[in-house]
Amino acid sequence: MRDGSSHSLAFRVMRLCRPSLQVDLPLRCAAGDLRYGEDDDVAERMRSLTEMEQTFSGRCEINQPLDACGLTGMLVLPQEFGSIYLGETLCSFISLCNVSDHDVEYVGIKVELQTERQRTSLADNTRAPLTVIKAGARNDFIIEHIIKELGTHCLVCSAMYSDSEGERRVARQDMDVERKLLHQKYKFVASNPVVVRTKIRPVRESTFLEVGIQNATKAPLFLDYVKFEPSTSYTSSLQEADEGDGEPDDDGEEEEDDILKGLFNRRIHVVESNGGERNYLYHLRRVQSAAGSSAESANTLGKLEMMWKTTLGEPGHLQTQPIMSNTGAKVEIEVRLEELPSRIVLEHPFQVKCRIKNNTDHRTGPLRVAFSRDDAAVKAVVVNGTWAQTLSDVQPQASLVFPVHLVALAAGVQKITGLCVLDARDGTHFAVVPPTEIFVES
């Protein structure tokens, strides 16, 4: 077995992709503008021309509205490999040609796609090789593979065969016949078609996930399927604006979407080329049954899946990596103030509600709620009554709400601070109420 310098076989590889539209933008004008004067009877002159003369002379005229767009109705076959993106399907026509003047025998063909991480077999007949490829003949086949990695790809085509100079070797089945190995490689680079940007905003018991899909290609993308698949710890819902609430865009994107919706009976979003973007907002809620899950699974929000088509219907499909929450490990005890009064008057007592939530899977308590006295002399809002109170146990994944009576000692924008939650038995510190701003009227 050797890799000979000259071979009887040769691979020919052609990528199978959609053709492009031929666009021709000649100078267009109205009939008679260039051939006749202003005072001439154009209609009478046109009737005097023969049909052939009218066809030739009207080649640059706008006879139909579509004539102005430059589309001739012709399709142009690809002249080069072109660009290929992550999520698209590589489809190639491979032909193994016998370029010699004699037959070759026992041809084993193998096609692999090699990346930085793995090597994938796309075609392999080495266990049942072709008996013979006659002189001037060829063996054709098509391979398909979904691009799942970015970066450089190498399509490796190899063939192992035996040269035959007559039927004598075939008749005696000489196993000592020299075998030749042909290797041909074709390299290409897979790029990222879209850039996905996420923003995570925790709001009390919920989480809002904002997703921006930006087009990184040089052609428009038609998004016909975008779905967020939440993890087992969350449920999700897409937040959509009411149809009459949004203002029309200057670039007419909403009008384009409505036209496509009428054509395909579903809404298809157009993402303009070179940086066009579409945004989606998802409302996530934590599932109560996932309280005892691990920290990693609890911080995994889910995956985003999208499907699109290019201008001539070339499909693409992409699924992102798991989107992780940017919040740290969840605290065991959460405490916050709720139901603040709409009007607070200086030196007049007012009441707020304090909510304590147990995020653990076991009962916690008894708890002690107290106001810190370290800086009581400079506090603008102080407790109206006892500085501390003891509460009962809080059940797993449950909340306890109780009133807190306060009084403001200074006017203007003030902060409620110093409220903390302790273990009533050993004084273990659990949580502190975040500073809450209020406005105090004089």
Contacting residues for 196 by C-beta, under 8 A, at least 6 apart: 211, 212, 213, 214, 304, 320
Residue type, position 19, single letter: P
The whole-angstrom separation of Cα 442 and Cα 344 is 9
What span, in angstroms and rounded, lies between the C-alpha atoms of 96 and 10? 6
- CA–CA separation, 245 and 280 (whole Å): 16
Q: SS3 for 38?
A: coil
pLDDT for position 143: 93
Domain boundaries, the chain: 9-13+80-191, 21-76, 195-243+251-324, 333-441
Spatial CB neighbours of 232, under 8 Å, sequence gap ≥ 6: 287, 290, 293, 297
Q: Each residue of 50-80: pLDDT tens digit?
A: 454 445 555 555 566 666 666 667 788 877 8
User: 434: Cβ–Cβ under 8 A, 6 or more apart, which residues?
Assistant: 336
Per-residue pLDDT, 233: 83
CATH topology of domain 9-13+80-191: Immunoglobulin-like (2.60.40)
Q: Which CATH architecture has domain 195-243+251-324?
A: Sandwich (2.60)
What is the per-residue pLDDT for 246?
Answer: 42
User: Residue 158: what pLDDT?
Assistant: 94
CATH superfamily of 333-441: Immunoglobulins (2.60.40.10)
CA distances, 382 to each of 323, 362, 407, 442 (Å): 43, 33, 6, 16
Q: Which value, in Å, is the radius of gyration of the alpha carbons in the chain?
A: 37
**Backbone angles phi and psi of 138, in degrees to 5:** -150, 160
Name the token pair of 6: 């000259």
Cis, peptide link before residue 65, omega less than 30° from 0: no
Write out residues in the chain with pLDDT < 70, as ranges: 1-5, 24-72, 164-177, 204, 241-267, 288-298, 326-330, 373-378
Q: Distance between CA 82 and CA 121 in Å, rounded?
A: 23
From CA 319, how far away is CA 329, in angstroms rounded?
Answer: 26
Instruction: Say whether 195-243+251-324 and 9-13+80-191 share the same fold.
Output: yes
The span from the CA of 291 to the CA of 359, in Å, is 7
